[in-house]
Structure 1
Amino acid sequence: MKILVTGAAGFIGMSTALRLLARGDEVVGIDNLNDYYEVSLKEARLAQLQPHANFRFIKLDIADRPGIEKLFADEKFDRVIHLAAQAGVRYSIKNPHAYVDSNLVGFVNILEGCRHNKVQHLVYASSSSVYGGNTRMPFSEHDSVDHPVSLYAATKKANELMAHTYSHLYGLPTTGLRFFTVYGPWGRPDMSPFLFAGAILNDRAIDVFNHGNMQRDFTYIDDIVEGVIRTMDRVAEPNPGYVPDEADPATSNVPYRVFNIGNNDPVQLLDFIGAIETGIGKKAEKRLLPMQDGDVPATYADTALLNEWVGFAPSTPIQEGVNRFVTWYRDYYKL
């Protein structure tokens, strides 16, 4: 198939594109290479992709409406994996307009491109952050997600609503994937595994929010990619058992689906730090701090629906995933 991967220079985008190329798909990757974090890392990720004969990169911002229209008209993609977005909960408090431009304007540009060019299936990144103020664990796709606690979360919830509208009005099959704290080699420098490893290796104290009383459903990158590709291969369908009177948020009577992709095994933040310490062979100096605005105390994915749909659920053990990440980090930064 010919597949568009947006955010191809990103953590999940690069890893997904590599897997698609390995199985023989043609991949066109786009990214705006913005400076939210070090551009050199994004360029290094692209360097992993560019030797492949079936890969082409186009520098393009998803908020560029004429550019996206031309891309879709010229390329005629079979399927689209939309991973480009302005990420980060904390950054959304300081820079809200960046999230509107990328996550709302950019997303409708992708939807319009799919609609007008007969794309067979759109798979897009949502986020565990949509669960917001929910406290019932584990988080289930059947639960309401109407109480976001950050603008980032609100834009991801909006993406799901926008996708449903296009599935309803135009019959566009869409699948949203709620990622739970993704980590691993080639990860994002603004996320805790990167920050912790860098600080420990360079003898700096690490900031531990909510005094360490946080739980996260850390999900290894290979598991995320497996889930993305399996869901892309199974095109979203209407749920024949959908009952409008009950309005289950997980499915619909149109070709729309949403799934959690998490490890189904929440880990205490201090235990995750311990896994990094074990991988590095060195203890961290910890600064215990209060909870930050926009954060939630715990995430925990119910993955039963994903397993039922594609026969897969993430399961990489934390220490195994952390050891692979630490090995990559030492190699990449020559430490």
Structure 2
Amino acid sequence: MERYLITGGAGFIGSNFIHYLLKKYQNCVVVNLDLLTYAGNLANLTDIEKDLRYEFVRGDINDQDLVQRILEKNRIDIIVNFAAESHVDRSIVGPDIFFETNTRGTLSLLKAAKNTKLRKFLQISTDEVYGSLGTNGYSTEQSPLLPSSPYSASKAAADMFVHGYYRTYGLDTNITRSSNNYGPYQFPEKLIPLMVTNALQGKKLPIYGTGQNIRDWLYVKDNCRALDLVIHQGKKGEIYNIGGNSEHTNNEIVHLIIDKLGANEEQIEYVTDRLGHDQRYALDSSKIAAELGWGPQISFEQGLKRTIEWYLKNQLWWEPLKK
């Protein structure tokens, strides 16, 4: 039996990963530690809250004593650290909480993990730590870290602590850096759910600058498969990029959503660009493909269709969040 501590499991990717684990593995136990800040939502997990293999604990990853008690009481084998402040705009306005949660919180988890017989520590990172790319090329796991925002700087710092604990203490760590995830349960401040829900409400569709910024898009369930492979087959101390191989400008994304919902293009509103806005992210995922046999299975067309359908069917989930 595998025993997981999932931090930030009430968030978007964390809750999807908990669903993935409990569906795939009958002999696993999942403890979900989440502080339930604004983007943490237990409504993401109502369908499994009575599952005897699942337990929710409300708490802060910076509370090292609490983390230590959870690890010891539940004999945790694997920590997967999703807990993070992740909205770039918020990090520009108030960077302190990003340092506290993303950097100091990761260090707190590592300190607790070092004192237990942990089998694996998986740090969930982001392609943003590599910084902006030009019109060509891809970031590899060997690319320098050049974060452009307080958010990505806090994640890069956390990655360095994880790597340091592997090199210094021999902790079995992996780091995954994925491209932009999208799918069910994503808080409606991020691009795709914001545009879908605003379009449904007849509101403006705000696009930064000229809308030509490019992101690589990855359906969240493809990311969950990749994380599962890294946990069970990833080499100790290694970093794995997880890209969707689906680059689109923000303009393209918004127009695709408008077309699928039959919305009005007059709802588009170009707004003042974000400070330090990175032009393009793109990941080279050849390492995880070669070593672990992973590749995205859900095309962007399929994933976007599924995502829009989910938000159409789950207005009772997202309408309170918009308020």
What is the TM-score normalised by the length of structure 2?
A: 0.92
- The answer to whether the 8 A contact 1:212-1:269 is kept is yes
1:137 equivalent in alignment to 2:137: yes
Residue 98 of structure 2 is matched in structure 1 by: 99
Superposition CA RMSD, Å: 1.6
The amino acid of 1:142's aligned partner reads Q
Partner residue, 2:280: 298
Aligned AA (1:260)? N
Give 1:290 shift. Answer: 4.1
Please list the CA deviations of residues 276-303 of structure 1 after superposition, one character each: whole Å capped at 9, or x if unmatched. Answer: 1233232342112343114211111111
SS in 2 for 1:117: coil
Secondary structure at the counterpart of residue 218 of structure 1 = strand
CA deviation digits over 1:231-258, x for unaligned, max 9?
Answer: 1111433xxxxxxxxxxxxxxxxxx111
Q: Distance in 2 between matches of 1:185 and 1:100?
A: 27
Correspondence 1:1-335 to 2 at 5 A: 1-22=2-23, 23-24=25-26, 25-35=28-38, 37=39, 42-135=41-134, 137-145=137-145, 147-237=146-236, 256-284=237-265, 285-333=267-315
Give the match's secondary structure for 2:210. helix
Rounded Cα–Cα distance in structure 2 between residues aligned with 1:176 and 1:283: 41
Task: Output the CA distance in 1 between the equivalents of 2:29 and 2:37.
Answer: 25
CA change 1:308–1:62 in 2 (3 A) is: same
In the alignment, the residues of structure 1 paired with residue 86 and residue 260 of structure 2 have an alpha-carbon distance, to the nearest angstrom, of 27
C-alpha separation in 1, matches of 2:292 and 2:204? 42
Q: How many residues of Structure 1 are paired with residues of Structure 2 in the alignment?
A: 312
Q: TM-score, normalising length from structure 1?
A: 0.89
Q: Distance in 1 between matches of 2:132 and 2:214?
A: 14
> Unaligned stretches of 5+ in structure 1?
238-255
CA distance in 1, matches of 2:195, 2:247: 18
- Contact 1:121-1:236 within 8 A present in 2 as well: no
- Give 3-state SS (helix, strand or coil) of 2:147's partner: coil
- Partners of 1:70 and 1:274 in 2: CA distance: 49
Contact 1:205–1:287 at 8 Å: present in 2 too? yes
Secondary structure in structure 1 of the residue aligned to 2:176: strand
Whole-Å separation in 2 of the counterparts to 1:208 and 1:277: 13
Distance 1:62 1:82, change over 3 A: same
1:52 offset after TM fit, Å? 1.8
2 CA distance for matches of 1:121 and 1:88? 27
Percent of aligned pairs sharing the same letter: 24
- The alignment partner of 1:188 has SS state of coil
Structure-2 separation of matches of 1:275 and 1:53 = 41
Partners of 1:157 and 1:309 in 2: CA distance? 24
With over 3 angstroms needed to count, the CA separation of the structure-2 counterparts of 1:67 and 1:81, relative to structure 1, is same
Q: Distance in 2 between matches of 1:267 and 1:287?
A: 19
Cα pair 2:234 2:292 within 8 Å, conserved: no
